[in-house]
Structure 1
Amino acid sequence: MTLAQPPHKKAKALRPGARRPAKELCSECGLCDTYYIHYVKEACAFINQQFPELETQTHGRSRDLEQENDWYFGVHQDMMTARKTQPVEGAQWTGIVSSIAIEMLNRGLVEGVICVQNTQEDRFQPKPVLATTPEEILAAKVNKPTLSPNLSVLELVEQSNMKRLLVIGVGCQIQALRAVEHRLGLEKLYVLGMPCVDNVDRAGLQKFLDTTSRSPETVVYYEFMQDFRVHFKHEDGSTETVPFFGLKTNQLKDVFAPSCMSCFDYVNGLADLVVGYMGAPFGWQWIVVRNDRGQEMLDLVQDQIETQPVMSQGDRKPAVQQSIPAYDKGVTLPMWAAKLMGVFIERIGPKGLEYARFSIDSHFTRNYLFVKRNYPEKLAAHVPEFAKRIVRQYKLPD
């Protein structure tokens, strides 16, 4: 099936540093850096929220609001946990995302891959690229925990006359992409997504590192993990862990981008295939197959991975309810108390899919309050129905 349409309308891209149409809610997805800015008012997730329409366009149906799993994990036909039997050297996890992208390129399923490398000067500064070789894909391994204008390279796709494309990205980028995909002149588009929450700009990232890590200048990457600790990987190969409850919330409360504080697409509901960690046991990756294109992508690496079924254990709701006022008031525990609480919750707390629900609930309640307090006029239209149902399970402050 072709996605191509007649030549699209174009507009002049915004100059660097110019104020974006979404204003302070701009997630810097990169669309406004191209002539596709002509479509930004219909495409931007923070101007025009349109989950049901885009889910139906992408997957053939929208979420079933009678099914709680759909509230949380979106349209899907399969879920599992996995890891590569031979990990990719230097990958943040075992390299499933990089391996899928390389297989798609090597087998001719796509002609290019939109992914994110880093600049030569700064390992945390994102550099979106249109990769056409396995080496360029491997140079993009490891997450970049900052706002990244992935879609800024869309013009290169049209200029190169590519007809088959893989895009790797996070929710806000993929929402905009889905809104303009029929304008791209492609014959086939594949989307490999990652769950995403709480991004920052480069200055915000530095503040997080400086207030949290023992050695900010040597951090290679980090992740908020299922054991309720932030794991920092350092240049010497060592791992530093800091309990969630020991984070300096009073200093970091306002560091996250307003777009991330207004986002309800944690699980990247419009991707074909999603690879993350949040619904998996420690050391494994959580994989969500949303449609047949996603299954086609996963099939390419079936002989490279071991899999196991998803599991769910514990009760998230008491922990979520307690976390709402704690975050709201910027509560920070002494480190000894934070470590003790971390050990206790790790032993008896939510695991597997219940941990994923815990994380989604915690962020959706926080984000709902943020929109309600700062953008009350947007609340009804901006918060999707599935998120409202999740939030209604809890008692929120005014």
Structure 2
Amino acid sequence: MLRSLFPSAGNAFSDFASAAADMPSEKTLFLRRSVAAFCFFAAILFVYNSVRFFADTSVTNPVGFFPVPDGLSSQVSEESRLEKVLNDAATEDKTIIITTLNDAWATPNSIFDLFLESFRIGLHTRRLLDHLVVVALDDKAYRRCLSLHLHCYALLTEGIDFSKEAYFMTPDYLKMMWRRIDFLRSVLEMGYNFVFTDADVMWFRDPFPRFFPEADFQIACDHFSGNSSTMHNRPNGGFNYVKSNNRSIEFYKFWYSSQENYPGYHDQDVLNFIKHDPYITEMGLTVRFLDTAYFGGLCEPSKDLNEVCTMHANCCYGINSKLHDLKIMLQDWKLFMSLPLSLKRSQAYTWRVPMNCSLSAFHPAKIPAESDEEENEN
């Protein structure tokens, strides 16, 4: 076979064999040993250089054969992972709903469970779960999210443990709030509109019909003045709807950087400081404040259950107090939904909360307490 493929090589080998046969036996043996030794060392050298070449390229050039700056590969991978989660959850116009979650709020029978339940029992809100992205701030919260929900993203911060309850205005609380603002800025830069909602906001109706179509940034309030355009409203950062454009991106950059001018304050306080800043007018940002009649909270509850979209456990400190009042809030909603239409429209029913979240020991209630029997989930 070798002769037919390489005839010249075959002839050379034949000539060499004939010459060797004419030599004395000792010279033939020496020649054969020399050739064998040469081939052996040549093979070792070839294998060594080959292994060294491929090892070097695999370490120094992990993508193709071009050098990659330190950290760029992991950053690209992280952005790709976030892009996939956002894209899977987004509506046709690239809008998503975002909440953040840590282990303290994600444990079984805690706030996260109530949050998801509100979507399931609200009016036209169950379908919105398909567009909800849960951003987990620690590993336990991420695993808990994966067991209950489809769109989960782990936003872990090196050197910081966000798993425990972050008490109001503690250093961990402030870090968590500002980490959230920076993350939301990155979502806007990726071209996604979002509704951000704290997990202690209960969703009872689809809020989108109540949003202002012309606004870049609209936010719920602890106190609503009656005018959606005035800066004299008291905004609450736990619920807002933001459209992705150059104005909103610049606003979030400005908001985040303003913490340097107001050290020790959280994002909501800083927003109250900067909302009058002329730079916001210069950037052309359209701001609207959401009426508490539709987007209420324990600070200023929505009075009419026929109109309410969301209710926030704001003006309340401590996870146990929040849990107590949120459970009652969900009970009130279930009972309201079970009433005949005529009674619903009578506007004679309102919330029994705040209770544990209130400084008052008693809060008048117009909705009677439910029986101990668990209602069937809608």
* TM-score normalized by the length of structure 2: 0.25
Question: Which structure features the higher share of helix residues?
Answer: 2
Q: Which has the higher contact order (CA 8 A, sep 6+)?
A: 1
